[in-house]
Amino acid sequence: MSEPAERSSPWWYRRRGTLIGAIYGAGFLFGYSSLQGPPPQPAAVAWGLALGGWAGVTILAWLGVALVLVAWLWRAAGTAYLRREVVFSADALQDRLVVAGPFRYVRNPLYLGNVFLALGVGLYAPPLGFAIIVAGNVAIVAFLAREEAHQMALRYGATFDAYRRAVPAFVPRLRPATVPGSAAATPSLRSALLGEAGVLLTAIALVPIAVFGSAGVVAFWILGAIALMTAYALNGWLHARKAGTAPRT
């Protein structure tokens, strides 16, 4: 029996980066839009003051940083085993079924990281923005994971069904699973660090706000710009390096 032919993923999958960015943009734009009354406060401030005064604000601000760091750990672990070129490929690649590292605990460690990222960054948007960012990311992650699961099921059949039964989609199991017929993988620290540098830099960029409050906003935007430029520079360098390397057979 011949293997199922690979097909291009739907447009919304191929444009997932743009859609996710639009969700964050909408969260901050609509969250901070105020036609009347005082400007909205970040969720960390509004909820922190309600829970425990400025001590509550400090706790929630640092919670946001911690959640982004957790997001980075999950995404870095997943990228280390899948490799950066697979993670950021336009189409849902199905060349192998990897059940190693974090994939032995949860089927979608990178998308789980996306949810933690939304929770952490969302705390720095107003409550309405928090709701938009978190709900939007949860929704798109569910669609993306379903598309990938569909492709893997077509290609790997019973092996993927066994994996799906053994490993939850988003809530990690306590013990690592073993699925016969799945591919082994060796983690690449380089791929993890380069591929997920932007998430780590996001956590670093949030620190000045957690420390200095509104006075740290300028530092946040400066570090955010540095993070963005670094991510683009790394992406360009990796593509140039890949273009100059003969393909492996």
* Alpha-carbon span 66 to 62, nearest angstrom: 6
Contact between 159 and 181 under an 8 Å Cβ cutoff? The reply is yes
Contact between 100 and 184 under an 8 Å Cβ cutoff? The reply is yes
Measure the CA angle with vertex 230, ends 226 and 236; round to 5°.
150
Residue range 166-212, pLDDT digits in tens = 999 999 999 998 888 777 788 888 888 888 988 998 888 888 778 87
Residue range 59-90, pLDDT digits in tens = 999 999 999 999 999 999 999 998 888 887 87
The contacts found for 141-146 with CB under 8 angstroms, 24 or more apart, are 141/108, 141/111, 141/114, 141/115, 143/12, 143/13, 144/13, 144/16, 144/111, 145/107, 145/108, 145/111, 145/169, 145/170
Number of H helices, E strands in the chain: 10, 0
In 10 A of CB 243, how many CB atoms?
7
Amino acid letter for position 7: R
User: Nearest 10 degrees: CA dihedral of 117, 119, 122, 127?
Assistant: 170
Contact between 91 and 9 under an 8 Å Cβ cutoff? The reply is yes
Residue range 127-140, pLDDT digits in tens = 999 999 999 999 99
Q: What is the pTM of this model?
A: 0.83
